[in-house]
Structures are given as structure tokens and as C-alpha cells.
Amino acid sequence: MKTLLLSLATAAAFLTPATVSAQAIPGAVVAVVDLGKVTEDCNACKTARATLQSQATALQNRQKTLAGPLSTEGKSIQDAINALNGKEPDAALKARAQAWENKRQQAADEIQRQDDQVRANAQYVQKQIAEKLAPIYQSVMQRRGANVLLESGATLAIASSVDVTNDVLAALNSAMPSLQTTAPAAPKPQGR
């Protein structure tokens, strides 16, 4: 009898951990956040958006400034070539055309560099926002008792009681008073 009880006790000891580890997953407590509203309405986001817009406008203005004289010069060169009626252009016209092409390429390179910088700046702003939001999500979920957080655009319908957008927005405004709108320079590749 003692042997039987000892065997049952040993078997129970081995079975208990398996039973404990197979606990049921708790029911989902879902909260939703409107990320579009958060990134549209956060104070630092508004300021950064205005700065990025002014950078884009400056780029467009520079493009127009460079394009005007190039267009005029290019038309003048094309008119001179057309006036030759298929004859070979002289050395001066060839040199003028080559100088124009060099200016056009330099302008295109400048605009491309500036466009790349504006894009990098916008991505850097988004990265900063994402880095600040990650811990805010966890904090808001914990405070509101949620264990799942969804973007409101991924839902068909929601009750206002599960919307934590204002909580996330307030926390983001507090955690992120400003944003850097100039991306750090990319590291230069090392040569061999």
C-alpha cells in the first residue's frame, strides 16, 4: 500500500508541472489608437511638418531658379543648331553646348542631393516618432488594462470606451517636446 501511495505521489509530482504550464490564454482586452490623428495633432509633429514643408518649398524654388536660365540657354543653343540646317556646328557652338550640358548635369546633381536630404529628413522625423511611441503604447495599455492595441484603421467599428488615442497623444506631447528635422549625415563608406 505504501508503495502504491508513493508511486501515485511521484506520478502526481510529474504531472503537476505539465498541468500548470498549459494554462489558458487570458481573454483579449483590446484598445485602439488612431495613429493618423496622433501624428497629425502632436505638437512636435506639427512643428516638424511645417519645417519639412519649408524644406520642400525651398527645394522647388531652387529647382525653378536653376531651370529658368538653363531652359533659356538650351533653347538658344537648339535654335543655333536648327539654323545650321544639318550642317556641322562650329567649335564655339559645340563648346557652348558642352558647357550647357555640364551646367545641366550639375544642377540635376544638386537637386538630387537636396531631394535626398529632404527625404532623409522626413524619414528621420518618422523614426523619432516611432521610437517615442513604442514605450507609450505599453504604458497606455498597462494603465487602461488592455493586452492588445490595434490601429483604428484596422477595425470595422469601435466603441469610444476602447479608444486610447487621446491618452497616446497626451503622452507623446509630454515625452516629445520637439523633433530634429535634419537627419544626421550618413556614414561614409570606408575604402580598402
Render the chain in DSSP notation, one character per residue. -HHHHHHHHHHHHHHHHHHHHTPPPPPP-EEEE-HHHHHHH-HHHHHHHHHHHHHHHHHHHHHHHHHHHHHHHHHHHHHHHHHTTTPPP-HHHHHHHHHHHHHHHHHHHHHHHHHHHHHHHHHHHHHHHHHHHHHHHHHHHHHHT-SEEEEGGG-S---GGGB-HHHHHHHHHHH-S----SPPPPPPPPP-
Residues 6+ apart with CB under 8 A from 73: 100, 103
Q: What is the pLDDT of residues 86-126, one digit of tens each?
A: 899 999 999 999 999 999 999 999 999 999 999 999 999 99
Per-residue pLDDT band for 79 (boundaries 50, 70, 90) equals very high
Domain ranges of the chain: 30-175
| 32 in Cβ contact with 163 (< 8 Å) | yes
pTM reported for the whole predicted model: 0.77
Q: Using one digit for the tens of pLDDT, what is the confidence trace for 139-192?
A: 999 999 999 999 998 888 888 999 999 999 999 999 999 999 999 987 777 765
Task: Give the confidence band of 77 by pLDDT, cuts at 50, 70, 90.
Answer: very high
- Range 57-85 average pLDDT: 94
Answer whether residue 33 shows pLDDT above 60. yes
pLDDT (0 to 100) of residue 151: 94
**Residue 176: other Cβ atoms inside 10 A:** 19
